[in-house]
Structure 1
Amino acid sequence: MRFTTKVLLLQLATVLAVVTVATGVYTYFAVERLRDDAENSALLIARTVAAQPVVRAEVAAQSADGVLPDRASLIDGPLQQLATESALSSGALFVVITDSSGKRLSHPETEKLGETVSTSFSETLRGEEVTAWETGTLGPSARAKVPVYAPGSDTPVGQVSVGFQPASAYDDLPLVLVVIAGGGVLALVVGGIAALLLRRWWEKTTLGIQPEELSALVQTQAVVLDGVDDGVLAVDEGGTVQMANDRATSVLGRDPVGTSVEKLGIPLKSVDGVVVGGHVLYIDVKPVRRGNRVLGSVVVLRDRTDLTALAGRLDSVRSMTSALRVQRHEFANAMHAAAGLIDAGRSDEAAGFLRDLQQHGPVDYPLEGIEHLEEPFLRSYLGAAALPAGERGVALRLAEDTFVLGELRVVEDVATVLGNLVGNGVTAAAGAPEPRWVEVTLMDSGDELVMVAADSGPGLAPGVDFLAPVDRGADDSDRVHGHGIGLSLCRDLARRRGGELWLIDRGGSGSGAIVAARLPRVMQDRQPQAGEQ
């Protein structure tokens, strides 16, 4: 039997038990109310009869005389006539009037006139009123007994007893029972409907999965989620994270459960890279469905921070390696040329050639304004970057106001940031009309290095975030400043050092974008060379 069926039967049984108990209690109180009503009716009639002047006078006279009239006189007497009329008009079983000795002065059965009553009358002779269910000569009844006082006195001289038979007392009981039964049936129907609705809600909420299946599902979830190296988020239809494994919490730097993915900075769509909390994440989003119902999404976070940073450094190393290979080749050629001049006896030309080589280096980089920069690494790095840029038809140049006095002491971070600025600028300029160029400005102050890159590209369209990642599979043909991953990573790198990366000018109307970065704690003071003051 399915769990929901068991719950339904249990709920129905509970409702039935509650209704049965409530019906029993209500029936008990209803019967007690009818008994009380019968006793109160008898008491009111008894009081009314006992207060009649003729009753008070006749009973007082009979009690004072002590001689009981014969039965015929009692039958025709005013007390019997009054009692009979009162019983008929009220529907009472009997109205009995007695004297102080308990002798009946009226009775529905005339042969019992003059006899002593079968129930106690001592309380009424003490001036007390009594209501009770008792059994007398006429059977069980709800009766009331009240004292009869002598005229102008408060001394009891007899009593009036009025009784209603049970059948008349419970005349309204069938209607009461019908109402109770109707209420019970209605309660059962409402309870049954509520139980059915609760069952449907349960199955909808749990997707029809039974508790034992839920237990197995939790075990499977723990094994799967904690056994993978990627971060996993379970997101509901509203975009709120409902579950996250330990890896996702570690990558995001916080417990994301209960937080919307928008606040976490995670797009609810697959992207090839986005920077969140200093991590470069590749995001896969898979919708979760059961039947025709969409339950939300599963977001897989693949941390590619180290890989992206390593790729950037490898690009820098590759550029430097290419530059060194060119330098080695050109230096070898220069040495052969110098040796040839010496062998030919052209010593003066050989000396001039070597002096020129000492001043400008063995490689003539296609880097305009290289004479403005003396820092060895930056000079070599930008010279090497100018070679592939030239192959793409883009001229790389240094601005005239470039001014760097110190020397680099943190090469990797500078190469990563500068490489992204130059690479994005070359990409933007390569698709623009001629002349195509990228201009770099470098300035240092203390241990800080400021880098500015401007290009001749079309610039950034209004509303486009130059740090935003490109959606996987989207048409990025108009994307001229990378995919947003490198620049985002560079900005995070700069911020971790206390610096910043920002957009100075979006460009447009014939000019490209201008991007700047400030990196503290990357420079050291340049040591004076021999002969320098």
Structure 2
Amino acid sequence: MHRPARTLPLRFSTQTLLLQLGVVLLVVLLSTAVHAWLTYDRVGREAENQALTLARAVAADASIQADVLAISEREGTPPPSELRTGPLMAAAEATRLRTGALFVVITDETGLRLAHPDPARLGEKVSTDPSEALAGQEITTRNTGTLGPSAGAKVPVYGPGTDTVVGEVSVGYSMETVGQSLERDIGPVALTAAGALLAGVLASFLLRRRLQRLTLGLEPEEISTLVHDQVAVLQGVDDGVIGVSADGRISVFNAAARRLLDLPDLAGTPWASAPVPGQLKALTRADAAEADAIELVAGGRVVVASARKALHRREDLGWVVMLRDRTELQQLTRQLDAVGTMSTALRAQRHEFANQLHTIAGLMSIGQHQQARDYLAGLAATGPLKFPVDQAELLQDPYLQAFVGAKGVEADERGVTLRIGPETLIRGQVTEPQDVTTVLGNLIDNAVNAAVAGSSADRWVELEVLDEPHDDGGTLHIVVADSGDGLAPGTDAEAVFAEGYTTAAQSDGLDGAGLDGAGLDGAGLDGAGLNGAGLKGAALDRGTRRSGGQGLGLALARQLARRRGGEIKVLETGTQGGPGAVFMASLPRTTASTGARNTTAEKENNA
């Protein structure tokens, strides 16, 4: 069966255009009708006033007053033939013809016509009520009489020199004459209405085009769907999204962006004055390349930001700035670096283990069994591993022992001595190893790099750690000094904490490529060599990270410290030839008294 073709609904912009045209047409018609009515009423009132003025003039004529009084004093009314040739008829007709009035009627005190344009009506009662005029009142009227519709007036006629009403004068102007006057006035009104209608139509078309441009040609249903999709997508993704409209205002600032930048909702704020990092604003400059991506530290997080131009067909919609959280990746990188550091420590001990095994084998081969047993006893007493850190015994916390010990091995491989200062005193245990090792690792790495690059022949890094107990968690104070050449002359001490500031070349550190499986076989390194007091996984958690010259380490460490209520600052800028710069960090609520480890540390130890 043939189905009739389905009629497509009109587009929203077309419906809006038709509605606007209908409204404009209705408004123009109503305005024209009201204006025409007001004009008609005005012309009618002018005719009434003109009739009243003429009626007063006729009623005030002394000869007419005398003639009306004479007729009123006679017995009965004169016959029509006498009235037709009388002075009243002549005066009334002369006035009517001279003024263009429809009629000028004179009556006696009873309302009988003494003068009328139609002589056949003489002597008859007037068709309209004359009682008000005969009672001494002046009135204006609009009614239909024997001569047709008219706008007129009635005025009493007084006897000469008396207050006695002896008759009345009625004057009227034809409403057809009023209509002719209206026709003369209605022309400009019609032209004005036509102009208003044309302007309304033109404005409607312009509004339709603007509406299409603003809605990008989308229907309301499509816009509603897009809004729902936008909310679902923007609030559901972990990436931060910032939309900057073409006029320079922030149109989108999703929850992830607020979280990553640690800012309130900035939607509607001018992009130029928004309190966002300057690096983000630089991405949206006209000369910025869309492929550029930057790393920055914001809200204690490492954020990767990129910007893309938003276009719809050929229309420029502004910019979209994407923010991705790389903090977790950085933490994983630091974990991997920590594992690499531990591997470096193990490789450094490989030769020592091999020598010890050769010594034992030699003693056994020549029959010196007792000396071999004594040698083994000595090894058991000292342990299989020995970190090259001076005064390492001052660090009583196992986290710090293992972490600083591994850093000491790494520093020793680069020709730098890591030593613990004599003022070091740790009475509690570290409860936040991730934050502590992040800050401590960055400071030690920077110090080692500075010592390696320094001009002093004696390369060293000195670390002092002191914990200050509090009821809500102790504060860990860290001081790191080195033998480098210090900060460059004229360098602001605060500048080193700026994002992107670095003086380090790409690190030549020890990666895991040199540690193949043959070097770490089970015979050389058994599980007893990595006991809980030595290198545990928790100690080498996310704290260490090779300096790659990215200029984010100190900035991230300072934000982390400040987020905990602490601080990192430069105590001394150092001198050329050494000693180098001295950094101090304070980390509140990162230690606790012995036995008060936090849940995270317990889980790591159990693992």
Is the TM-score greater than 0.5? yes
For the residues of structure 1 that align with 2:70 and 2:426, how far apart are their CA atoms? 142
Match of 1:453 among 472, 476, 480: 480
After the TM superposition, which residues 285-296 of structure 1 pair with which residues of structure 2 at under 5 Å, given as runs?
A: 285-296=307-318
- Aligned counterpart, 2:554: 487
Q: Find the residue that maps to 1:517 and give its secondary structure.
A: strand
Q: Which sits farther off after the overlay, 52-61 or 354-363?
A: 354-363
For the residues of structure 2 that align with 1:117 and 1:522, how far apart are their CA atoms? 116
- Aligned counterpart, 2:138: 129
After the TM superposition, which residues 374-523 of structure 1 pair with which residues of structure 2 at under 5 Å, given as runs?
A: 374-375=394-395, 378=400, 381-389=403-411, 395-398=416-419, 402-406=423-427, 408-410=429-431, 411-427=433-449, 437=459, 439-446=461-468, 447-454=474-481, 456=484, 459=487, 465-470=495-500, 482-504=549-571, 514-523=582-591
The answer on 1:21 being equivalent to 2:21 is: no
Residue by residue over 1:22-73, the C-alpha shift from the partner in whole angstroms, topping out at 9 and shown as x without a partner, is 2122212221222222122112211221122222222122112235456676
Cα pair distance change 1:16/1:526, threshold 3 Å: closer
Q: CA deviation at 1:234?
A: 2.8
% identical aligned pairs = 38
- Aligned counterpart, 2:177: 168
Q: CA deviation at 1:157?
A: 1.4
Residue by residue over 1:363-382, the C-alpha shift from the partner in whole angstroms, topping out at 9 and shown as x without a partner, is 573x6xx2486316546544
Could you tell me which amino acid in structure 2 is paired with residue 451 of structure 1?
A: I
Q: Find the residue that maps to 1:487 and give its secondary structure.
A: helix
Cα pair distance change 1:41/1:176, threshold 3 Å: same
Cα pair distance change 1:316/1:375, threshold 3 Å: same
Match of 1:278 among 300, 314, 323: 300
Residue by residue over 1:143-200, the C-alpha shift from the partner in whole angstroms, topping out at 9 and shown as x without a partner, is 2222212234333211101111223223421232112212211221222232123222
The answer on 1:263 being equivalent to 2:275 is: yes
Q: CA deviation at 1:430?
A: 5.2
Residue by residue over 1:299-350, the C-alpha shift from the partner in whole angstroms, topping out at 9 and shown as x without a partner, is 33322323322332342343234324534642563575589689799x99x9
Could you tell me which amino acid in structure 2 is paired with residue 161 of structure 1?
A: S
Q: CA deviation at 1:90?
A: 2.5
For the residues of structure 1 that align with 2:503 and 2:481, how far apart are their CA atoms? 25
Q: CA deviation at 1:16?
A: 0.5
The answer on 1:11 being equivalent to 2:17 is: no
Match of 2:72 among 50, 63, 66: 63
For the 8 Å contact 2:154–2:169, the answer to whether it is kept is: yes
Q: Which sits farther off after the overlay, 206-215 or 414-423?
A: 206-215
Match of 2:150 among 116, 127, 141: 141
Q: Find the residue that maps to 2:114 and give its secondary structure.
A: coil
For the 8 Å contact 1:128–1:147, the answer to whether it is kept is: yes
For the residues of structure 2 that align with 1:97 and 1:242, how far apart are their CA atoms? 83
The answer on 1:53 being equivalent to 2:62 is: yes
- Aligned counterpart, 1:530: none
TM-score for the superposition, normalised by structure 1: 0.80
Match of 2:324 among 298, 302, 307: 302
Q: Find the residue that maps to 2:18 and give its secondary structure.
A: helix
Could you tell me which amino acid in structure 2 is paired with residue 310 of structure 1?
A: L
Residue by residue over 1:282-314, the C-alpha shift from the partner in whole angstroms, topping out at 9 and shown as x without a partner, is 223222112443322223332232332233234
User: What are structure 2's unaligned runs of at least 5 residues?
Assistant: 1-9, 284-291, 469-473, 508-546, 596-607
Cα pair distance change 1:436/1:62, threshold 3 Å: farther
For the residues of structure 1 that align with 2:11 and 2:460, how far apart are their CA atoms? 72
- Aligned counterpart, 2:471: none
Could you tell me which amino acid in structure 1 is paired with residue 306 of structure 2?
A: D
Aligned residues: 519
TM-score for the superposition, normalised by structure 2: 0.71
For the residues of structure 2 that align with 1:45 and 1:198, how far apart are their CA atoms? 56
Q: Find the residue that maps to 2:186 and give its secondary structure.
A: helix
Cα pair distance change 1:64/1:124, threshold 3 Å: same
Q: Which sits farther off after the overlay, 112-121 or 295-304?
A: 112-121
Residue by residue over 1:376-398, the C-alpha shift from the partner in whole angstroms, topping out at 9 and shown as x without a partner, is 654654453344445556x3544
Q: Which sits farther off after the overlay, 218-227 or 129-138?
A: 218-227
Q: CA deviation at 1:273?
A: 3.4
Q: CA deviation at 1:202?
A: 1.4
Q: Find the residue that maps to 1:283 and give its secondary structure.
A: strand
Q: CA deviation at 1:128?
A: 3.3
Cα pair distance change 1:421/1:162, threshold 3 Å: same
Q: CA deviation at 1:281?
A: 2.5
Q: CA deviation at 1:407?
A: 5.9
Could you tell me which amino acid in structure 2 is paired with residue 32 of structure 1?
A: D
For the residues of structure 2 that align with 1:119 and 1:524, how far apart are their CA atoms? 114
For the 8 Å contact 1:425–1:457, the answer to whether it is kept is: no
Cα pair distance change 1:225/1:71, threshold 3 Å: closer
